[in-house]
């Protein structure tokens, strides 16, 4: 597994986070949150806004793992289409789930505005370019379902995708105007500041090592002190450790690496994402790209198991940049970094009630900027007493993946399989004389 790198573009360009200390004494609160990424910070923020006292325990620092390492693409909805979700969860619950997931970016951009978070937020839309005609047809079917629900989405021709992205390699695509981009670490740090302003307490370098229950209260032990609270929210996602083994075994973690170029020349900038959208294509092992505030191209794709992101392990990413944007021939790369993405077997985020007063939310399948922020609010709502039937997302039973070690091996095999499938799609496209 690659360790989380603090040498990301985002770490180099975000304003410093709040000055925080490790836990050094016993604390009490209405709620304790384990993990200070988007899930934990959003939960703490919403609990604080409801007048609850909150302590957040973070093993590293706010946003130092996935929430400060990601692509900063604010993506509406889930991987399943609205109709699929309504079929699975029933028309009433399914419709609420679809509406909540579709409005995830509203929540993100609203929190940024209300808490005055300086994180280069741009709501210029999210593009899903299609890598095959079949993928384009699937996108069109999903877009029709969103349009019936009044969402601001539209299908794009291959020409329009080329104009908006600067890449000639796509068959067309979807533009979802609900999405956008943020500086992800700055957003996480801004949420942390907002939690503190709301009266919350955050302790850094304070890993929760033991969780126990006595007299209707939970107790969390860290190396420097303990916290007792009637409610605990576990928000450790892909970085879940042995604290609750079954939680860790309910997800499969997959590495994703990103590279950032030096700032593009004005001429290249005029052709690549001139409208400032984010893009994630439809490949099985998707490629996602955007510009940062200084005009660097940031491209992400699957990472290598066991290797740290760096010039040696990011050859695939350089090739992807050259393939998609031949106009950038010779461009130099300034940053390489990566992190872990938590995948679930059903591709849905999971909200669990592990025991009375013990909640967990995780598994955003690469869409956590909006979904983890939303999950934090759902966890807070549940902690405040909202019933399962009132919540937009259902409380799900915890289902550890059988033979979890095997599942991780299977993830490696699946990555190889999808790589082959993506290669075949591209080759067939060429044989048919298609765009890519």
Residues that bind ligand FAD (CB under 6 A): 34-40, 57-60, 64-67, 69-73, 75, 207-208, 235-239, 241, 243, 256, 258, 288, 300, 338-341, 362, 364, 366-370, 372
Cβ at position 179, least distance to ligand FAD in Å: 9
The residue (of 94 and 207) whose beta carbon lies closer to ligand FAD is: 207
Q: How far is the CB of 36 from ligand FAD (least distance, A)?
A: 5
Angle between the 91-102 and 82-89 helix axes, to the nearest 10 degrees? 140
Rounded to a whole number of angstroms, the minimum distance from the CB of residue 305 to ligand FAD is: 14
CA dist., res. 249 & res. 400, Å (int): 5
Residue 365 vs 435, nearer CB to ligand FAD = 365
Closer to ligand FAD by CB, 84 or 221: give it. 221
Residues with Cβ within 8 Å of residue 107, at least 6 apart in sequence: 370, 373, 374, 377
| Least gap, CB of 355 to ligand FAD (angstroms) | 17
CB of residue 225 to ligand FAD, shortest distance in Å = 13
Which residues, in sequence order, are CB contacts of 124 under 8 Å at separation 6+? 180, 181, 275, 276, 277
State which residue, 67 or 145, has the beta carbon closest to ligand FAD: 67
Minimum gap (Å) between residue 49 Cβ and ligand FAD: 18
User: 3-class secondary structure for the chain?
Assistant: CCCCCCCCHHHHHCCCCCCCCCCCCCEECCEEEECCCHHHHHHHHHHHHCCCCEEEECCCCCCCCHHHHCCCEECCCCCCCHHHHHHHHCHHHHHHHHHHHHCHHHHHHHHHHHCCCCCCCECCCEEEECCCHHHHHHHHHHHHHHHHCCCCEEEEEHHHHHHHHCCCCCCEEEEECCCEECCHHHHHHHHHHHHHHCCCEEECCCCCCEEEEECCEEEEEECCEEEEECEEEECCHHHCCHHHHHHHCCCEEEEEEEEEECCCCHHHHHHCCCCCCEEECCCCCCCEEEECCCCCEEEEEECCCCCCCCCCCCHHHHHHHHHHCHHHCCCCEEEEEEEEEEECCCCCCEEEEEECCEEEEECCCCCHHHHHHHHHHHHHHHHCCCCCCCCCCCECCCCCCCCHHHHHHHHHHHHHHHHHHHHHHHHHHHHCCCCC
Q: For the CB of residue 112, give the shortest distance to ligand FAD in the complex, in Å.
A: 14
CA distance 112 to 91: 32
**Residue 62 C-beta: closest distance to ligand FAD, Å:** 7
| Nearest to ligand FAD of 208, 383 (CB atom) | 208
* SS3 call for 339: strand
Cα–Cα dist 206/21, whole Å: 9
CB of 70 to ligand FAD, least distance (A): 3
Q: Which is nearer to ligand FAD, 82 or 376 (CB)?
A: 376
The answer to whether 358 and 334 have CB atoms below 8 angstroms apart is: no
Residue whose CB is less far from ligand FAD, 42 or 435:
42
Least distance in angstroms from the C-beta of 232 to ligand FAD: 11
Q: Which is nearer to ligand FAD, 90 or 312 (CB)?
A: 312
Closest distance to ligand FAD from the beta carbon of 57 (Å): 5
Nearer to ligand FAD, 127 or 341 (CB): 341
Query: Please, which residue, 234 or 331, has the CB nearer to ligand FAD?
Result: 234
Residue nearest to ligand FAD (CB): 368
- In the bound state with ligand FAD, the residue whose beta carbon lies nearer, of 97 and 244, is 244
């Amino acid at each position: 597994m690659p360790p989380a790198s603090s040498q990301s573009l985002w770490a180099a360009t975000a304003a410093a986070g709040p000055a925080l200390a490790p836990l050094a004494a016993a604390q009490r609160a209405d709620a304790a949150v384990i993990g200070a990424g988007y899930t934990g910070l959003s939960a703490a923020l919403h609990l604080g806004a409801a007048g609850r006292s909150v302590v957040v325990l973070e093993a590293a620092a706010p946003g130092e793992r996935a929430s400060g390492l990601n692509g900063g693409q604010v993506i509406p909805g889930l991987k399943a289409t609205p109709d699929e979700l309504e079929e699975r969860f029933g028309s009433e619950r399914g419709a609420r789930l679809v509406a909540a997931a579709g409005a995830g970016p509203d929540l993100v951009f609203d929190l940024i505005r209300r808490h005055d978070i300086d994180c280069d937020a741009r709501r210029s839309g999210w593009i899903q370019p299609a890598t095959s005609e079949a993928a384009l047809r699937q996108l069109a079917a999903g877009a029709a379902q969103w349009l019936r629900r009044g969402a601001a989405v539209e299908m794009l021709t291959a020409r329009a995708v080329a104009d908006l992205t600067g890449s000639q390699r796509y068959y067309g695509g979807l533009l979802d105007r609900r999405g956008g981009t943020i500086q992800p670490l700055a957003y996480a740090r801004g949420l942390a500041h907002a939690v503190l302003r709301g009266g919350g307490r955050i302790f850094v370098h304070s890993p929760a090592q033991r969780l126990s229950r006595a007299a209707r209260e939970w107790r969390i032990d860290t190396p420097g002190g303990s916290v007792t609270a009637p409610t605990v929210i576990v928000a450790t996602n892909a970085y879940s450790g042995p604290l609750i083994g079954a939680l860790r075994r309910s997800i499969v973690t997959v590495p994703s690496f990103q590279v950032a170029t030096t700032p593009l020349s004005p001429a290249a900038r005029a052709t690549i994402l001139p409208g400032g959208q984010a893009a994630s294509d439809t490949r099985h092992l998707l490629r996602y790209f955007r510009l940062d505030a200084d005009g660097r191209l940031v491209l992400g794709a699957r990472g290598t198991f066991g290797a740290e992101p760096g010039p040696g392990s990011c050859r695939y990413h350089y090739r992807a940049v050259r393939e998609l944007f031949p106009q950038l021939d010779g461009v130099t790369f300034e940053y390489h970094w990566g992190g872990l993405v938590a995948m679930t077997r059903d591709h849905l985020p999971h909200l669990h009630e592990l025991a009375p007063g013990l909640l967990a939310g995780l598994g955003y399948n690469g869409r956590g900027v909006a979904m983890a922020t939303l999950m934090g609010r759902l966890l807070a709502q549940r902690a405040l007493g909202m019933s399962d039937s009132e919540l937009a997302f259902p409380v799900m039973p915890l289902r550890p993946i059988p033979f979890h070690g095997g599942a991780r091996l299977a993830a490696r095999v699946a990555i190889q399989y999808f790589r082959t499938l993506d290669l075949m799609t591209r080759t067939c496209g060429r044989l048919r004389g298609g765009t890519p």
